[in-house]
Amino acid sequence: AQSVAQPEDQVNVAEGNPLTVKCTYSVSGNPYLFWYVQYPNRGLQFLLKYITGDNLVKGSYGFEAEFNKSQTSFHLKKPSALVSDSALYFCAVDAGANNLFFGTGTRLTVIP
């Protein structure tokens, strides 16, 4: 069975510092991995995805994520956090049949 884990419910980081939001997955076969962001009272916005190729994926708003097959991880990163990055972040995996399995979300708070 496929699953996605986001071990941190909350991540706090000072503005200008690098940020990392963790995600690990469990799925058979080669997964498609995604990151989405959700702002208050809004739907999900696509940030980036990994399908194949380079393990470092660059996405919207300066975010990037690194696919690590041996550690089954797909952590989201940004070199310098902005206050406007404060939101709820979801990691998701598509293990085939176009069914997305989401993690429980990590609330990122960037402190001015």
Partner 1 sequence: GAVVSQHPSRVICKSGTSVKIECRSLDFQATTMFWYRQFPKKSLMLMATSNEGSKATYEQGVEKDKFLINHASLTLSTLTVTSAHPEDSSFYICSAQEDPANEQFFGPGTRLTVL
Binding site for partner 1 (CB under 8 A): 9, 34, 36, 41-46, 49, 90, 98-105
Cβ 105 to partner 1 shortest distance, Å: 6
CA atoms within 13 A on the CB side of 32: 11
CB closer to partner 1, 22 vs 49: 49
**Closer CB to partner 1, residue 66 or residue 102?**
102
CA distances (Å), origin 94, targets 8, 25, 29: 21, 10, 11
CB of 53 to partner 1, least distance (A): 15
Query: Are 109 and 86 contacting, i.e. CB atoms less than 8 angstroms apart?
Result: yes
Q: Provide φ and ψ at 83, rounded to 5°.
A: -60, -35
Using the minimum distance from each CB to partner 1, give the nearer residue, 13 or 93. 93
The minimum distance between CB 28 and partner 1, in angstroms, equals 18
CB atoms within 10 A of CB 66: 16
State the nearest-atom distance from the C-beta of 1 to partner 1, in Å.
12
